[in-house]
Amino acid sequence: MSLASAAQALLDDTVAAYPQVTSLRHQRHRWTEPLRVAVAGRAGSGKSTLVNALVGDKVAPIGDGCTVWYQDGTSPRATAYPPDLDPYELPLTVTPDGPRTGQVDGDLVIHWPSRVLRQMTLLDTPSGGATLDDADAVLHLTPAARPADLAPLRDLQSSAVARATPVATVLVLSRADEINGGRTDAFVTARQIARRHARDPAVRDLCLRVHPLGGLAAATARTLTDVEFETLAHLAALPRTDTDGALLSTDRYLAAGLPAELLHRLGLPGVRLAVVLARTGHDTRLTLAGELARRSGLTELRDTIAHSLVARTEALKARATLLAVESALDGQWTPKTDALRVRLGRILAEATEFREMRLVATLPELPVRFPAELEAEAHRLAGGDGTDIPARLGLDEPTDAPGMRRHCDEALLRWQVLAEGGVADRRQRRAATIVVESCAAILDRLGV
Amino acid sequence: MSTVATPMWVDILDSAAQACLVHGRTDLATGLRARRKQLLDPALWVIVLGEPGQGKSQLINALINAPVCPVGDAGTTGTPTVVRHAEQPGVTLVHRTARTTLTVAEAAPHIRGREAIRAEIGVPRALLAGGLTLVDTPAAVPGEPWHARLGAHPPADTVVLASAATAELTVAELDLLRDAAATVPNVVVALTKTDLATDWRAVADRNRQRLASAGIAAVVIPVSAVLRLHAARTGDAVLNAESGFPELIVRLNRDVAGKPRELARSAAAQASRAALEQVAAPLRARLTSASAPSQAMARLTEAQRALDDVRRRHVRWQNTLNDDISDLVSNIEYDLRDRTRQILRRVDETFESADPMTAWDEFAGWLDAELKDAAEANFGWLIAQCEWISHRVAAHFGEYGPDALPTWRMHVPDDLDRLVPAIEQPGVEKFTITQKALTGLRGSYGGILMVGLATSLAGMPLINPVSVGAGAILGGKTVHDESKTLLKRRQSAARTRTQRHVDDFFLLVSKEAKDTVRQAHRLLRDHFIDLTDRLQDAIVHSVRTAKLAADADVAETERRQREIEISLRELAGLYRQAQQLQAA
């Protein structure tokens, strides 16, 4: 039985045993929806900027102190979900600064036509700290990764299921552009810092990955206009001494008569980086925007969201379901509770998906890395490039089942040898064991 | 201090330290002494605080225009670093047991680490020559006191909080400032990174508002280390002015110059006030707690309440006793009356038929026994009632339990017989033979004469058989009637005699019963009065002792309160002096 069907069956039986727990019944609907990704963090940590960067449009901030849901829709539309009342439609005005709507009490759902939102629903959470039970995955933004900053992540792991599956949270180190005094190498340094945190056991056990992000540059890279590109190209064409003076500080920038709008959109570090990029051959709007997105960390973050979260929608939905079941079981004891708990434990133990997700995330962070070919194969087999069988086996052409089985058998043999002593490092062996599990799961699906 | 005139603030600081010692706060006294030593030191200690990545180290580097504190690449400061003037640049790492001397470049990894207690960097800079001493600190941890990594009483004249202009002051930063402002007279917020922030002027304004509403007297100085360092490299005076550092330097220089006077004065005043405040707070708490009612007072109230209770009870038991006794008297009399009446009724019945002449002895025995029984039953009932009454009265003394009952018990007197006098036989008119003969003759005479006269008409003699027969019949009838009349008279005499006897008996026994009741009444009354007296004595005694204790307690409390008040007045005096010092 697959993880999804096992989790759904467990959910059905738990709903039968706990008919009074309404949150359990909501879980059933969630299976039919896209993945829900919450953006969380303290005030001023850049939540709305990240939402804009991900949607690729100026949609946030909207609503004050409430959770705003961004869902796909044919036209911009706002619906308010006040607590204890029926939802109602709100008038929505679209301005150049983003959509505007009246004051609401309760959650606000914004329907917005966007390709990104077809695959996932984004939740812009209030700074005060909303419950993240509604989300399947969390992007947690924080300027620094001190113990105090990680406290919300630890809170997310208060239950046993959450601790066993720390795969639904991505830590985003926002304000990466301000490091090193906002010099153009800020993003490089930010990446190094993020890597250091990713190796830190205190951070590693709390989240799937750590990403640096220059929020302003990222959001603007997705929406860079031709006019803005022209300005940047013009700046890049000026002698270096002139631009250096103008880009020394925001005051000097404005004093030089440069457009304030661009400064607000990119930030001074962003402008500096864009000018340097424009000078070094990124001479069209698309290439410049693409490079800005890459440097700002947005490209990597979107890759992680696509490959580690959206591609794993089923596993994350199952995780959310298991969390809800666990919370119901913890809440009250009934004669069926113990049997349900045993089933929950078995599903957790048998699910290779969560271990695979961890493996894909941690492969490049292993203290002793596999040779590049093996690392790529492990990444592929564990579903890092896609969770269907041909993607896992790296087959470009259509292959029949026996052929796929032969490929898988070979890989299984290779990784079994590694797992049973082929590599010396303990964490490498553990990784190899998970790859073996993945191979076994593929063979299972092929029907041996 | 061996100088000619010690400044006034030193005296006040010493007095405050003395007051702390007197009230057992050696910790505060130590703090004040450390503060005194530090204030007499001409060097101005400037502590740079802040959250991570706000540019603390860079601020110091830009101030002295030398890269002495490690910055960048998220290299957070791990060891507190003291930067002061020295002819030759050099770093001394102070460990728990040793000191090592290094060059500035060598020291950077040690400053990032946490193994040393502190690093002391000497740099030849004119700015520092006046005694300005800068302290770079590891990033503040929310919830910890501002001097958490600097030791218990770090020298501090000015605290500079570095906060990036890209965001407003956070709650944690405000808490840190509030904490520092409580002990350090000068607090400055250096709004760093103004070169990066697009709207740092608005942020500065909002920060000033937040500080004002939080009641923190701190100036906000926007600075940009990047601009300052760039200006130093290029010798650009305008850019240097733009960096905001000149304003910060002017302020720090003013503090250095003013340290022996204004700054030391206000710092001493502030430290003294803070210490005195801490000493006074528990005293004030004790003052209010002392006015709360004491245990002795509670005991006194309790005893007085018990005394009132006993008095109320005294009246109540007396009423019960008197009522019950008068009820008893009437009941006893009625009972005796009832019993004697029944006896008399039977006596009447008896003498309807019986002849006292023949049955007297038997009757006298029966009457005697009946009367004795009646007296005994009456007395028995009386005694039972008396016991019941004593129980009822004793119930008023509930807490004494069975002890409240009198120890003596009443008994039916053994000599009740004595009360019942022997009855005398009434004088009986006997019907003797002679009387019978005379009576018979008198009766027969009329018969003979009457019938003889009638028969003589018939020619018979006066005395003839017929007249003799009639004479005999009439004579017999007369005798019979006469004896009947005598019997009646005897019975009536016996009844009268018995009646009188029973009346006598009633009088005697009821007198005796009443005497007994009265005696019992007296005995019970005496017993319970005695009991009440004893009870009252005990309670009065306890009231007296409780009152003594309460009086002593009140006196003690007042004495203590006076002491506390005196102490508080002294402290208040010192506090006022400190205040005046600050205002001067």
Reported ipTM: the value is: 0.77
Asked if A192 and B242 come within 8 Å (Cβ–Cβ), the reply is no
Set of chain A residues whose Cβ sits within 8 Å of the Cβ of B198: 250, 260, 263-264, 267-268
The dihedral through the CA atoms of A17, A22, A24, A26 has a sign that is: positive
Asked if A248 and B195 come within 8 Å (Cβ–Cβ), the reply is yes
Please, what is the average pLDDT of chain A? 88
Nearest to A319 by CA among A165, A196, A445, A184: A165
Q: Is B120 helix (H, G, I), strand (E, B) or coil?
A: strand
Is beta strand B44-50 parallel, antiparallel or unpaired with respect to B132-136? parallel
Please determine, for residue B4, whether its predicted confidence score (pLDDT) is greater than 60.
Answer: no
- Number of separate helices (H) and strands (E) present in chain A: 22, 11
Rounded percentage of chain A residues whose pLDDT exceeds 70: 98
- Least Cα separation, residue B559 to chain A (angstroms): 51
Provide the 8-state DSSP code for B145.
-
Gap between the Cα atoms of B383 and B405, Å rounded? 15
Per the CB < 8 A criterion, the answer to whether A60 and A127 are in contact is no
The predicted structure's pLDDT at residue A128? 64
Average pLDDT score over residue span B119-133: 87
The residues of A whose Cβ lies within 8 A of any Cβ of B are 44, 143-144, 146, 148, 175, 178-182, 189, 192-193, 196, 248-252, 260, 263-264, 267-269
Please, what is the average pLDDT of chain B? 84
Set of chain B residues whose Cβ sits within 8 Å of the Cβ of A248: 195, 226-227, 230, 239
For A175, the closest chain B residue by CA position comes to: B166
Per the CB < 8 A criterion, the answer to whether B139 and B90 are in contact is no
B312: pLDDT confidence band, cut at 50, 70 and 90?
Answer: confident
Nearest to B497 by CA among B334, B376, B367: B367
Domain B8-72+125-290: CATH superfamily, name plus number: P-loop containing nucleotide triphosphate hydrolases (3.40.50.300)
Which element (helix H / strand E) includes B375? helix B356-394
The predicted structure's pLDDT at residue A63? 67
Residues A321-331: pLDDT tens digits?
Answer: 999 999 889 88
Gap between the Cα atoms of A332 and A21, Å rounded? 10
Give, in order, the Cα–Cα distances in Å from A161 to each of A101, A325, A433, B106.
Answer: 38, 10, 22, 48
Set of chain A residues whose Cβ sits within 8 Å of the Cβ of B166: 175, 178
Best A150, A179, A241, A251 member to test B by mutation, with max B CBs in 10 Å, is A251
Please determine, for residue A356, whether its predicted confidence score (pLDDT) is greater than 50.
Answer: yes
Q: What does the CA dihedral A194, A199, A205, A211 come to, rounded to 10 degrees?
A: 20
Asked if A251 and B242 come within 8 Å (Cβ–Cβ), the reply is yes
Q: Is A440 helix (H, G, I), strand (E, B) or coil?
A: helix
Per the CB < 8 A criterion, the answer to whether A37 and A122 are in contact is yes
Set of chain B residues whose Cβ sits within 8 Å of the Cβ of A179: 53, 74
Asked if A182 and B195 come within 8 Å (Cβ–Cβ), the reply is yes
Asked if B224 and A249 come within 8 Å (Cβ–Cβ), the reply is yes
Q: Is residue B98 classed exposed, middle or buried when 0-12, 13-18 and 19+ CB atoms within 10 A define those classes? A: exposed
Sheet strands (E) in A77-124:
77-81, 88-90, 92-95, 98-101, 107-112, 120-124
A378: pLDDT confidence band, cut at 50, 70 and 90?
Answer: very high
Per the CB < 8 A criterion, the answer to whether B221 and B190 are in contact is yes
The predicted structure's pLDDT at residue A54? 92
The predicted structure's pLDDT at residue B188? 92
Of A193, A196, A268, the CB nearest to B196: A268
Set of chain A residues whose Cβ sits within 8 Å of the Cβ of B241: none
Q: Is residue A272 classed exposed, middle or buried when 0-12, 13-18 and 19+ CB atoms within 10 A define those classes? A: buried
B84 Cα distance to chain centroid: 63
B1: pLDDT confidence band, cut at 50, 70 and 90?
Answer: very low
Gap between the Cα atoms of B194 and B225, Å rounded? 9
B258, amino acid identity: G
Comparison of pLDDT for B191 and B74, the residue scoring more: B191
Best A248, A258, A262, A263 member to test B by mutation, with max B CBs in 10 Å, is A248
For A45, the closest chain B residue by CA position comes to: B167
Residues A77-89: pLDDT tens digits?
Answer: 888 888 878 888 8
Gap between the Cα atoms of A122 and B580, Å rounded? 61
Asked if A248 and B142 come within 8 Å (Cβ–Cβ), the reply is no
Gap between the Cα atoms of B413 and B508, Å rounded? 14
**Cis, peptide link before residue A143, omega less than 30° from 0:** no
B3: pLDDT confidence band, cut at 50, 70 and 90?
Answer: very low
Sheet strands (E) in B89-205:
90-94, 99-102, 118-123, 132-136, 158-164, 186-192
- Least Cα separation, residue B224 to chain A (angstroms): 9
Set of chain A residues whose Cβ sits within 8 Å of the Cβ of B139: 146
Q: Which two tokens stand for residue B409?
A: 């018990």
The predicted structure's pLDDT at residue B401? 62
Question: CB under 8 Å, gap of 24 or more: what pairs does B536-542 form?
Answer: B536/B307, B536/B310, B536/B311, B536/B314, B539/B303, B539/B306, B539/B307, B539/B310, B540/B307, B542/B303, B542/B306
Residues B51-108: pLDDT tens digits?
Answer: 887 888 889 989 888 888 887 655 677 888 899 888 888 888 888 888 888 887 787 7
For A177, the closest chain B residue by CA position comes to: B196
Instruction: Write down the pTM of the prediction.
Output: 0.66
Per the CB < 8 A criterion, the answer to whether B77 and B138 are in contact is yes
Per the CB < 8 A criterion, the answer to whether A49 and A297 are in contact is no
Q: Is A78 helix (H, G, I), strand (E, B) or coil?
A: strand
The predicted structure's pLDDT at residue B198? 82
CB pairs under 8 A between A and B: 72
Residues B456-491: pLDDT tens digits?
Answer: 888 888 788 888 888 889 888 888 988 888 888 888
The residues of B whose Cβ lies within 8 A of any Cβ of A are 51-53, 55, 58, 72-74, 139, 141-142, 164, 166-168, 172, 193-198, 200, 224-227, 230, 239, 242
Average pLDDT score over residue span A193-209: 87
Average pLDDT score over residue span B325-338: 91
For B197, the closest chain A residue by CA position comes to: A250
Asked if A269 and B166 come within 8 Å (Cβ–Cβ), the reply is no
- Angle (CA) B146-B151-B155 rounded to 5° is 80
Is beta strand A88-90 parallel, antiparallel or unpaired with respect to B132-136? unpaired
Comparison of pLDDT for B1 and B96, the residue scoring more: B96
B233, amino acid identity: R
Comparison of pLDDT for A141 and B264, the residue scoring more: A141
The predicted structure's pLDDT at residue A433? 92
Of B58, B196, B239, the CB nearest to A250: B196
Provide the 8-state DSSP code for B138.
P
Average pLDDT score over residue span A237-241: 89
Give, in order, the Cα–Cα distances in Å from B456 to each of A262, B251, B496.
Answer: 190, 185, 51
Of A44, A182, A189, the CB nearest to B167: A44
Angle at which helix A215-222 crosses helix A47-55, to 10 degrees, equals 30
Q: Is B225 helix (H, G, I), strand (E, B) or coil?
A: helix
Best A174, A183, A216, A249 member to test B by mutation, with max B CBs in 10 Å, is A249
B112: pLDDT confidence band, cut at 50, 70 and 90?
Answer: confident
Asked if B226 and A249 come within 8 Å (Cβ–Cβ), the reply is yes
Average pLDDT score over residue span A68-82: 89
The predicted structure's pLDDT at residue B486? 86
Which parts of A305-421 fold into alpha helices (H)? 313-331, 337-350, 352-362, 372-381, 389-393, 401-417
Gap between the Cα atoms of B567 and B26, Å rounded? 17
Gap between the Cα atoms of A360 and A345, Å rounded? 23
For B236, the closest chain A residue by CA position comes to: A245
Which parts of B44-116 fold into alpha helices (H)? 56-64, 104-112
Q: What does the CA dihedral B202, B206, B212, B218 come to, rounded to 10 degrees?
A: -60
Residues B395-424: pLDDT tens digits?
Answer: 887 766 667 777 777 777 777 777 677 777
Asked if A250 and B227 come within 8 Å (Cβ–Cβ), the reply is no
- Least Cα separation, residue A57 to chain B (angstroms): 22
Set of chain A residues whose Cβ sits within 8 Å of the Cβ of B169: none
Q: For A202, what's the count of Cα atoms within 13 Å in the CB-facing half-sphere?
A: 9
Gap between the Cα atoms of B56 and B47, Å rounded? 10
Per the CB < 8 A criterion, the answer to whether B448 and B463 are in contact is yes
Q: Where are the domains of chain B?
A: 8-72+125-290, 296-425+491-573
Q: For B3, what's the count of Cα atoms within 13 Å in the CB-facing half-sphere?
A: 7
Gap between the Cα atoms of A421 and A37, Å rounded? 39
Of A192, A196, A250, the CB nearest to B198: A250
B352, amino acid identity: E
Gap between the Cα atoms of A87 and B388, Å rounded? 83
Residues B515-525: pLDDT tens digits?
Answer: 888 888 888 88
Of B52, B55, B195, the CB nearest to A250: B195
